[in-house]
Structure 1
Amino acid sequence: MLFNSLPFLVFLPIVFGLYWYVFNKQLRWQNCLLLIASYFFYGWWSWQFMALLALSTFLDYVYGFSVASPNRKKARLFLWLSVINNLGILAVFKYYNFFAQQFQLGFEMLGLHIHPVLLQIGLPIGISFYTFHGMSYVFDIYRGKQKPISNFIEYAVFVAFFPLLVAGPIERATHLLPQIQNRRIFNYRQAVEGCRLILWGMFKKVVVADSLASIADNIFNNYPEHNGITLVLGTIAFSFQIYGDFSGYSDIALGTAKLFGFELLSNFRFPYFSRDIAEFWRRWHISLSSWFRDYLYIPLGGSKDGKGKAVRNTFIIFLVSGFWHGASWNFIAWGFIHACGFLPLLLLDRNRTHVKEVVAADRLWPNGKELLQMFTTFCFVSFAWIFFRIHNMSNAVDYVKSIFTNYRNPAESLSYLSIFFYILPLLIIDWQFRRNERRLEISKRNVFAALSSRVVMYTIYTLTALFLLNAIIQKENMSFIYFQF
């Protein structure tokens, strides 16, 4: 079920009403409702894979008790069983065909011809997210940060909670399970914040991302026909398309969770205002990057064992992150590019320069240095997006070459300047809210500022409703990009 669809717009108020007005006095019934609603939400897309979700959930639930054993050999054994189970599911459904084809190519280079059996099955939606939920639960038990939970319903809600089920954020058991186990009381302010986030996320998706998608698709799919300036505009369009699409999903997920009394982990904190690549990765897909940091980078030794191992671990993290996104060399190349961009900061001990503060935290506008830093970081990130967007590596390289070599018919680029009609309002509003991505507070500096902010926000809400209504009528509900991962 898509957030930007009529079924969801019917589904959400029904579940909300039952949750707060029918089952509000019994926590266990609220959790049961959430579990049923989550599986219905997931099954709306493909009921065939509901059993896989249930099996993955049950296995990690069972493993958790053995991982908590004081016998460390037994605990380690079941920890590895959980890892093998979860990665095995990913390997079969997401990576088997890729490796089979690579082995075939390798044997053909040796003059041998094999014909591997390929799986003719679709990728279960959300598989990369809910398997990581399960592994984080087991890892935290092994580390002593989480006790095994006896109530299966509560654990199943943690894995399958519908706002985050198919595209995150990737939650931690230590953060979400206590909220599931404790009674929730309706909070009007929290619900209002949730509605604002949902509307803002819908604006990012249906107004910005979906509008830019048609432009980016036209340019990328026909790149040999376009000049270098147009290709640059196409790259910018895709950069904001994927940001609007994925951060829009995350905003809707966070907002929906707020309606039910939950606070999910932040997944985006205005990444295109980053001043270097390290800061970008602290602001982009935060739940994934922090997951790899805590469960892979640090166990590998992090940066404590010298620069050599820190460099090795950094490349491992980025390459694995790229491969997590898809079984294709272009994603690995995308991860490699980011590792190369991160490397100078690591070697110069500047990778933690911008850890906590936002850009121009106490000022209205950034200074010249900050503008240059944000511009160069955005250019680097956008360059890497080319390899993310084009799955064929040779085509991606040709696209980059064409940017610098194709100068014919520069006038054609004028027609694509319309992308800034969607990008500039997004940047302006993001800049205003950069200090707190959750609340989207209306400015109260003075009467004029407050009135102006309200006019802007209500205009956005109106545009969102019109675009969403048109998409539903035209049956053009575009799926979210990260559903494929």
Structure 2
Amino acid sequence: MLVNLGFLGVFKYYNFFAKEFAEACSSFGFQVDALTLDIILPVGISFYTFQTMSYTIDVYREKLKPSKDIIAFFAFVSFFPQLVAGPIERATNLLPQFYTKRNFDYKKAVDGLRQILWGGLFKKIVVADNCAEVVNHIFENQADINASGLFVGAIFFAFQIYGDFSGYSDIAIGTSRLFGFNLMQILLSPYFSRDIAEFWRRWHISLSTWFRDYVYIPLGGSRGGTWMKIRNTFIIFLVSGFWHGATGPF
């Protein structure tokens, strides 16, 4: 686990913290050059880091037996349909599917193609990309647009990010079905949530449940009083922010 987190820290977060440290020093009057690394971020490093960590933890908790098939294990870690945009699969769900012999399933193939074309590509190309044109125009000219126009831009942006994320996820899940694999659901109508807590449970389900099972609950969850719950929730959102991007806004 330390090796996994070490690679993730160096590749994704080292330059961010180096720059932040240099800026913090300059604010106190000390000039420090940021010693950054000119390295390329490996594709999907956040996803397969979390997947290998969940495998290690599940084996430690005896929820999963260690894999004796190295090819199946590396196929699980680097499964290409979900490597870039998720979902973050659990070894308990995906790894056993590599042990099973698969034959072509016409029904699964049709369902997969339908999810790729109608679900994924339609959401991405028709919904998200067209909403992006409106959003970019409004946000790039925000000084000249009134409050109602900015509100419209925010609504279109909500549809844009949903179309992007849901579209990519549908393409990943549909492609997996073409090969006979079943991936977990990643979104569950999040914009129909009744409150923020329900929205959190419905948006990026594979990530939120990962944080719940491997970070929040081991920290104590909601046990131990209000302050303990607030602390654990703060840690979850802090880690989630770092996971989404190594920049200040995240």
Superposition TM-score tier, normalisation by shorter sequence:
over 0.9
Q: Is residue 243 from structure 1 mapped to residue 243 from structure 2 by the alignment? A: no
Which residues of 2 match residues 324-363 of structure 1 at below 5 A? 324-331=243-250
Q: Following superposition of structure 1 onto structure 2, how do residues 323-402 of structure 1 map, counting pairs within 5 Å? A: 323-331=242-250
Q: Determine which of 277, 287, 296 is the counterpart of 2:196.
A: 277
Alignment correspondent of 1:159:
77
* Structure 2: runs of 5+ lacking an equivalent: none
Q: Percent identity?
A: 61
CA distance in 2, matches of 1:286, 1:260: 23
| Structure-2 residue corresponding to 1:103 | 21
Match of 1:264 in 2: 183
Query: 1:307 aligned to 2:226?
Result: yes
Cα shift at 1:225: 2.7
- CA positional deviation for 1:221: 2.8
Give 1:139's aligned residue. Answer: 57
Number of the residue aligned with 1:207: 126
CA–CA distance in structure 1, aligned partners of residues 248 and 30 of structure 2: 23
> For residues 93 and 233 of structure 1, what CA distance do their matches in structure 2 show?
38
Q: Does 1:191 find its partner at 2:109?
A: yes
- For 2:206 and 2:234, the matched residues in 1 are separated by 19
Q: CA deviation at 1:210?
A: 0.9
Distance 1:253 1:134 in 2: 19
Q: Which has the larger radius of gyration?
A: 1
Question: Structure 1 residue runs of 4+, over 3 Å off?
Answer: none
In the TM superposition, residue 119 of structure 1 has moved relative to its aligned partner by 2.2
Quote the Cα distance in structure 1 between the aligned partners of 2:41 and 2:140: 23
Distance 1:224 1:85 in 2: 47
Letter in 2 for 1:217: N
Matching residue's letter, 2:114: R
For 1:185, the aligned partner's letter is: N
Q: Which residue of 1 aligns with 2:209?
A: 290
Other structure's SS at 1:330 match:
coil
CA distance in 2: counterparts of 1:230 and 1:124, whole angstroms: 39
Query: Structure 1: any 5+ residue segments left out of the alignment?
Result: 1-81, 332-485
How much does 1:168 deviate? 0.6
TM-score (normalised: structure 1): 0.50
Q: How far does the alpha carbon of each residue in 1:31-56 deviate from its partner, in whole angstroms, 9 at most, with x for none? A: xxxxxxxxxxxxxxxxxxxxxxxxxx
Indicate whether 1:216 and 2:135 are aligned. yes
**Offset, 1:206:** 0.7
RMSD of aligned alpha carbons: 1.3
Task: Look up the equivalent residue of 1:325 and give its one-letter code.
Answer: H
Alpha-carbon offset, residue 246 of structure 1: 0.7
Moved more, 153-162 or 215-224: 215-224
Q: Determine whether 1:124 maps to 2:29.
A: no
The offset of 1:122, in angstroms, is 3.7
Farther-moved stretch of structure 1 (295-304 vs 102-111): 102-111
Q: What are the Cα deviations for residues 108-127 of structure 1, in whole angstroms up to 9, with x where unaligned?
A: 12221110222233432211
Q: Kindly report which structure 2 residues correspond to 1:12-91, keeping only aligned pairs within 5 A, or say none.
A: 82=1, 84-91=2-9
Which residue matches 1:318? Answer: 237
Q: Distance in 2 between matches of 1:280 and 1:101?
A: 34
C-alpha distance in 2 between matches for 1:122 and 1:186: 38
State the Cα distance separating 1:284 from its structure 2 match: 0.7
User: What secondary structure is seen at the aligned counterpart in 2 of 1:184?
Assistant: coil
Letter aligned with residue 146 of structure 1: L
Q: Distance in 2 between matches of 1:118 and 1:220?
A: 32
* Residues 229 and 123 of structure 1, relative CA distance in 2, 3 Å threshold: farther
